[in-house]
Structure 1
């Protein structure tokens, strides 16, 4: 799996999931529950990962979103 985005913004994360679904790209969200336990602080970023074959297309779909931090 290859990381394509990091965020702690739940609204942005929802939008990312929507964009990936619309593009037909399977994405997986890592550390979401850990970040919520931490209080959504910057200590534990929520990572969005995809299959390496889809990484470039996913980055293209997400290119207009600003990374957190």
Structure 2
């Protein structure tokens, strides 16, 4: 699996997940329950992961829906 988005913004995370689901791109959110460890202050970014084969399609879908600046480009 590859990271395609990292954010501390829950609205961005939710929107990105909805975009990927609407494109039938399975995704998994990592670090979603870290708030218990960090004290709910939101400093640890949550990551959206997709399988390697879907990375290009996922990045295109996010960019097409206004999230180009949020895309994680490092592999």
Over aligned residues, Cα RMSD in angstroms? 1.5
Aligned length: 65
For 1:40, which of 31, 38, 42 is the aligned residue?
A: 42
Counterpart in 2 of 1:10? 10
5+ unaligned residues in a row in structure 2: which ranges? none
Q: Provide the C-alpha distance between the structure 2 equivalents of 1:46 and 1:19, rounded to a whole number of angstroms.
A: 16
Q: Provide the C-alpha distance between the structure 1 equivalents of 2:23 and 2:70, rounded to a whole number of angstroms.
A: 20
Counterpart in 1 of 2:52? 52
Provide TM-score, normalisation by structure 1. 0.85
TM superposition outliers: structure 1 runs of 4+ over 4 Å: none
Counterpart in 2 of 1:67? 70
Q: Provide the C-alpha distance between the structure 2 equivalents of 1:22 and 1:45, rounded to a whole number of angstroms.
A: 23
Counterpart in 1 of 2:31? 31
Provide TM-score, normalisation by structure 2. 0.78
5+ unaligned residues in a row in structure 1: which ranges? none
